[in-house]
Amino acid sequence: MLIVGINGSPKKEGNTAFLVREGLAAAAASGAETALIHVADALADQKIPYCTQCSTPCRGACSRDNLLGEAFNLLRLADGVLIGSPVYFGSVSAQLKAFWDKGRVLRKEKALYNVAGAGVTVGGSRFGGQETTLKALFDMMLIQGMMIVGDGFIEADCGHQGSCGQAPSGSDEFAVTRVRLTGKRLAEVAAATTALRRHRG
């Protein structure tokens, strides 16, 4: 079982990356294999860093034999995905949006259909747009056919929408606790739904 984390921040060692790693560590402690994608790295060799809808249906031209293609190939193997984003004007980062928009080819392939998904967001203040950013993450995942889980776990509580943190996230004990629960729940649901992903071969 593979749980893939996506760091949607332009910073590889920032607040979002920290919380995504905490969630992945919890998933690993539950028995999952984990991997981390930094969207800034995946987009680094793109001539045009955003989707221009160059073909319909998408032929995936922008992800052939490059860093983006490597990231997408990892997602094609994922049983669960933990997506993290900083709050940018109440929504996801431009880098994450560009990465996900270029994933039209994954949608065409139904590559993420029935993959379990969860979200984590970080804002500059306690009520700084984290939940609206989570909602954007959920919409992005639903359009790929993913199954969304929150930050609850049977040994704790039923949870809420997902993990929300305040920068600096390393000092936000509540956010760390919630994202660890998210990682455990994501691994649990991914393991329980393996049969739903048999269409991927």
In a domain, residue 61? The reply is: yes
- Structurally, the chain folds into a number of domains equal to 1
CATH number of the domain that residue 67 is part of:
3.40.50.360
In a domain, residue 119? The reply is: yes
In a domain, residue 38? The reply is: yes
Q: How confident is the model at residue 165 (pLDDT cuts 50, 70, 90)?
A: very high
Q: What mean pLDDT do residues 176-187 have?
A: 98
Q: How confident is the model at residue 123 (pLDDT cuts 50, 70, 90)?
A: very high
pLDDT at 200: 85
Q: Domain range spanning residue 166?
A: 2-196
In a domain, residue 12? The reply is: yes
pLDDT at 50: 93
In a domain, residue 131? The reply is: yes
pLDDT in tens, 4-32: 999 999 999 999 999 999 999 999 999 99
In a domain, residue 201? The reply is: no
Cβ proximity of 144 and 103 under 8 Å: yes
Q: Is 7 helix (H, G, I), strand (E, B) or coil?
A: strand
Cβ proximity of 173 and 183 under 8 Å: no
pLDDT in tens, 72-102: 999 999 999 999 999 999 999 999 999 999 9
Q: What mean pLDDT do residues 120-143 have?
A: 97
pLDDT at 201 over 80: no
The reported pTM is: 0.96
Distance CA 1, CA 32 (A): 5
In a domain, residue 83? The reply is: yes
